[in-house]
Amino acid sequence: MKIRHYLRYPIDIARAKNRLSDRSAGTSVFGNRPIVLDLYTPDLLIDCGRHFASIAHYAAQHQSALIIRCQRLLLAAIAHKPFGTQALEMQNVSWVGDDQLVPANAVVMTDVANRDVTRRLNGQPITTMLIGKDFMIGDDIAPAGSVMPYPMHPAILKFADRSCLLASRATSNRSGLFFAGSQRAKYGRDVMRKGFDVLNRLEILDCVRQTYEQRIVTQRSEVQSADRMPIILPPTEAGDAAVPISTDQWLPTLAQHQFFLCCPGIAQPMCHNIIEAMSVGVIPVVEYPERFCPMLIDGQNAITYRGRQGLHAAIERIDAMDRDVIAAISERVSTYYDEHLDGERFIGRLLSETNERRPSAICLPFHDENLTAMKSIKLAAAAVA
């Protein structure tokens, strides 16, 4: 913990107590096997606590309580994060001190290696969360483990249950290459090129605007000709989309389009909008396919490219595709989401596994360092050793 956590503690712990105080739903609603997050560090609070919030949401989908076991200082830090405090408000979430026992039937996940676990358990095994790590990096190597999927934005999760996704996937008359999202200056930082060797968000949008200016519209209703695939981008003068799309309409809006231009986030390439697009069968046009596990494959479940010229070539390839090919790729995108990116299914598998079969570690590869390059170096070194 850092000094800022101590300075903010009085206000943040009061906020935590307030968020945890209303539990009108009662515990009987969440009668399934509970999940315990046995936290020693603030590592899970990356991305404003959105991964923490997504675990809470998916636990509730399975009628499972989520019990947070940690010190009060860490509880306060959770409450300081916008999505952390949102999770604390959920009816299935509760907190216990680090000296208390957890239910014997609980699925326990911790953020430290087994050798560093010091708290009492109730006879159950623990699953280590490798946060911001790959299985092949560092000392924590668990090749038989699982990879927790990068989550949707917490505001979208309540509109992304199975019935909503299936309804959006059934959308007919899809068309166009689409992007909507912030264009603020922070998305144009050089960290993408220096850290990951990919274009940043503003570079991608600028590249498309310079080359395809005559085909760009700001919304689907402006499309006047179907001769060429329309490109739907927000206007450059807006920091965010000119007409904000409400959260309940985001997935249906995505589903009106055939392709999504996957622009990176601020600190890392991965961004929640690619997950949301794939959930409704929209084909990602993406420069970072290797950050998925398993890796996205060009022409199978994505359109991939490298650099500005590669992006131009990708759009030209899309222009040449017939509708049957696009429909087949879209179907495989939906299948990929169901098998590898569906957080509800991932949590469901953890809850259903017996103690003997539950993975000893799961990887949460949400990091702002290019560990993929480090992995390649490590594998190459092992090959010649």
Mean pLDDT of the 133-157 span: 69
DSSP at 246? P
Q: Among 74-83, 217-226, 255-264, 316-325, which stretch is predicted with the lowest mean pLDDT?
A: 217-226
Q: Do domains 3-149+344-369 and 155-341 have the same CATH topology?
A: yes
Interhelix angle for 46-61 vs 343-352, to 10°? Answer: 60
pLDDT score of 377: 42
Map out the domains of the chain as residue ranges. 3-149+344-369, 155-341
Whether residue 375 contacts residue 143, with contact meaning beta carbons closer than 8 Å, is answered with: no
Q: What is the pLDDT of residues 285-315, one digit of tens each?
A: 999 998 888 899 999 999 999 999 999 999 9
Mean pLDDT of the 326-337 span: 97
Integer Cα distance of 361 and 350 in angstroms: 11
Q: What is the pLDDT of residues 191-219, one digit of tens each?
A: 899 888 999 999 999 999 999 988 888 77
Cα 349 versus chain centre, distance:
18
Look-up of token digits 């949707």: 152
The CATH number for 155-341, chosen from 3.40.190.10, 3.40.640.10, 3.40.50.2000, 3.20.20.70, is 3.40.50.2000
Tokens of 133: 């790590």
The one-letter code for the residue type at 47 is D
Kind and range of the H or E element at 129? strand 126-131
User: Per CATH, which fold does 3-149+344-369 belong to?
Assistant: Rossmann fold (3.40.50)
Q: Which of 244, 254, 87 is CA-nearest to residue 159? A: 254
Whether residue 362 contacts residue 133, with contact meaning beta carbons closer than 8 Å, is answered with: no
Whether residue 257 contacts residue 270, with contact meaning beta carbons closer than 8 Å, is answered with: no
- Confidence band for 62, pLDDT divided at 50, 70 and 90: very high
Contacts of 184 (CB under 8 A, 6+ apart): 239, 240
Mean pLDDT of the 248-270 span: 94
Q: Is 240 or 87 the better-scoring residue by pLDDT? A: 87
Q: What is the pLDDT of residues 32-41, one digit of tens each?
A: 999 999 999 9
Mean pLDDT of the 315-338 span: 96
